[in-house]
């Protein structure tokens, strides 16, 4: 952003210097045209060769300054001052030459000094305008004296002094206006720089806000995941499990597509906690949870119902499919290795299956699955039983 700002300032200074140089050249051209008219109407004895010489000189000087401004890579304040005083030196020489070329109507030079000040009104400061005004005044007084009393040219020295002092207040007023314009330009530049700084600061704050929002979204996502998952097993907790089951119940009531619930309980889990400790019991819970999760399809889900009990949801399947899934889970857990328990203890689970019936309360379905689970427990554990209600 800072690099772009420097580029814009450089471009703006180059444009101002170019415009300033062109304005000066326009002033030169107007003076030459008026001089030519004065020659054609015999108001002055200036010759064509003199007019051609001054016109060629100012054209060459203008082209030279435009080339220098164009080739300069970085337009600094020092270079801007150099361009002004360089062109002022050229103007001073050309104004002096032109003053003596006008001869009888040399007082007309004052009006073109005023014109130069007006041209520079929007692009110069008070001191620059005053330098031009004072220079024109000195040239006019000394030049008139030299032309009349030493060169013998026609004219009234007193009248030309009078015109000169009439010129001076106007020149000072224009210089004062230049100062006002310069101050307004500086205020506008400062306002623009302040706006750019504020814009940059706003972008930084917006970036911080976006970063904060992203972090907040991540934090909210983490909080949401923590709110719906069981901390120990990583499965859905009971509250979120019931929310999902209620949604599936509504979908089943609407579409007629039934689903199956499997209630799973770890056999003799209390014995694991009592003999091996709760840390080992927690490890058993985690392994059982992962086996359940790994067995299910992407459309199915499971959650920790409480303690060592888990509920598995199976959608879009048959009784046979539900039984195969439950048996697969049972077998995977039966074959799992738990070095912490030693060789004398094997982790097994009992599972009860039921099918949701249209329009029934969800608690009734869960109760039926729980009944099937206890049938498996009473039948010797490490087995799958079903309680299916029809009609």
Q: Do 257 and 143 have their domain in common?
A: no
Q: Do 160 and 37 have their domain in common?
A: yes
User: Of 16, 50, 18, 14, which Cα lies nearest the Cα of 31?
Assistant: 50
Q: Are 54 and 97 in contact (CB under 8 A)?
A: yes
Domain termination residue (choose one: 156, 184, 201)? 201
Return the pLDDT at 4: 53
Q: Do 150 and 10 have their domain in common?
A: yes
Q: Do 247 and 195 have their domain in common?
A: no
In a domain, 207, yes or no: no
In a domain, 164, yes or no: yes
Residue scoring higher pLDDT (4 or 91): 91
Residue found by looking up tokens 């210089």 in the block: 175
User: Of 321, 298, 304, 293, which Cα lies nearest the Cα of 269?
Assistant: 304
Q: Do 15 and 153 have their domain in common?
A: yes
Read off the CATH number of the domain in which 265 is found: 3.30.70.270
Please give the sequence-ordered ranges of beta strands (E in DSSP) within the chain, or none if there are none: 259-266, 301-306, 309-315, 349-355, 384-386
Burial class (CB in 10 A: 0-12, 13-18, 19+), 261: buried
Using one digit for the tens of pLDDT, what is the confidence trace for 194-243? 888 888 888 888 888 899 898 989 988 988 888 999 999 999 999 999 99
In a domain, 168, yes or no: yes
Q: Do 197 and 245 have their domain in common?
A: no
pTM of the model: 0.53
Q: Do 182 and 276 have their domain in common?
A: no
In a domain, 179, yes or no: yes
Q: Do 182 and 261 have their domain in common?
A: no
Total count of domains within the chain: 2
In a domain, 40, yes or no: yes
List the catalytic residues. Answer: 308
Q: Do 39 and 153 have their domain in common?
A: yes
- Of 158-172, 287-301, 365-379, give the lowest mean pLDDT range: 158-172
What range does the domain containing 275 cover?
A: 238-386
Using one digit for the tens of pLDDT, what is the confidence trace for 32-73? 888 888 888 888 788 888 888 888 888 898 899 889 888 888
Using one digit for the tens of pLDDT, what is the confidence trace for 141-170? 888 888 888 888 888 888 888 888 877 887
Q: Do 173 and 280 have their domain in common?
A: no
| Position 3 confidence tier, pLDDT thresholds 50, 70, 90 | very low
Q: Do 188 and 277 have their domain in common?
A: no
In a domain, 50, yes or no: yes
Please give the sequence-ordered ranges of beta strands (E in DSSP) within 164-258, or none if there are none: none
């Amino acid at each position: 952003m800072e690099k772009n700002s420097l580029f814009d300032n450089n471009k703006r200074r180059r444009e101002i210097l170019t415009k300033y140089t062109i304005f000066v050249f326009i002033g030169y051209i107007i003076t030459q045209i008026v001089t030519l008219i004065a020659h054609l109407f015999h108001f002055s004895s200036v010759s064509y060769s003199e007019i051609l010489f001054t016109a060629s000189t100012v054209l060459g000087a203008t082209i030279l300054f435009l080339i220098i401004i164009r080739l300069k890579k970085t337009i600094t304040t020092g270079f801007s001052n150099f361009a002004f005083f360089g062109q002022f030196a050229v103007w001073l020489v050309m104004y002096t030459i032109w003053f003596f070329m006008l001869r009888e109507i040399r007082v007309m030079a004052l009006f073109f000094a005023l014109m130069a000040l007006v041209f520079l009104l929007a692009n110069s400061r008070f001191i620059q305008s005053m330098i031009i005004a004072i220079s024109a005044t000195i040239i006019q007084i000394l030049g008139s004296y030299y032309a009349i009393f030493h060169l013998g040219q026609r004219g009234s020295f007193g009248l030309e002094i009078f015109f000169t002092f009439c010129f001076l207040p106007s020149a000072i007023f224009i210089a004062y206006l230049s100062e006002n314009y310069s101050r307004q330009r500086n205020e506008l530049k400062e306002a623009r720089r302040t706006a750019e700084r504020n814009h940059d600061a706003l972008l930084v704050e917006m970036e911080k806000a976006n970063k904060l929002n992203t972090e907040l979204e991540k934090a909210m996502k983490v909080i949401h995941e923590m709110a719906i998952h069981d901390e120990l097993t990583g499965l859905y907790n009971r509250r979120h499990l019931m929310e999902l089951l209620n949604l599936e119940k509504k979908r089943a009531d609407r579409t007629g597509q039934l689903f199956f619930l499997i209630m799973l309980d770890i056999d003799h889990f209390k014995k694991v906690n009592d003999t091996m400790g709760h840390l080992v019991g927690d490890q058993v819970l985690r392994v059982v949870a992962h086996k359940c999760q790994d067995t299910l399809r992407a459309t199915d889900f499971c959650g920790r119902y409480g303690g060592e009990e888990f509920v598995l949801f199976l959608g879009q399947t048959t009784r046979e499919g539900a039984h195969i899934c439950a048996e697969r889970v049972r077998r995977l857990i039966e074959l799992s290795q738990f070095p912490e328990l030693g060789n004398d203890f094997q982790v097994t689970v009992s599972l009860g299956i039921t099918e949701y019936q249209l329009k029934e309360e969800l608690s009734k379905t869960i109760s039926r699955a729980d009944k099937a689970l206890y049938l498996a427990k009473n039948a010797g554990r490490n087995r799958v039983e079903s309680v299916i209600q029809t009609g």
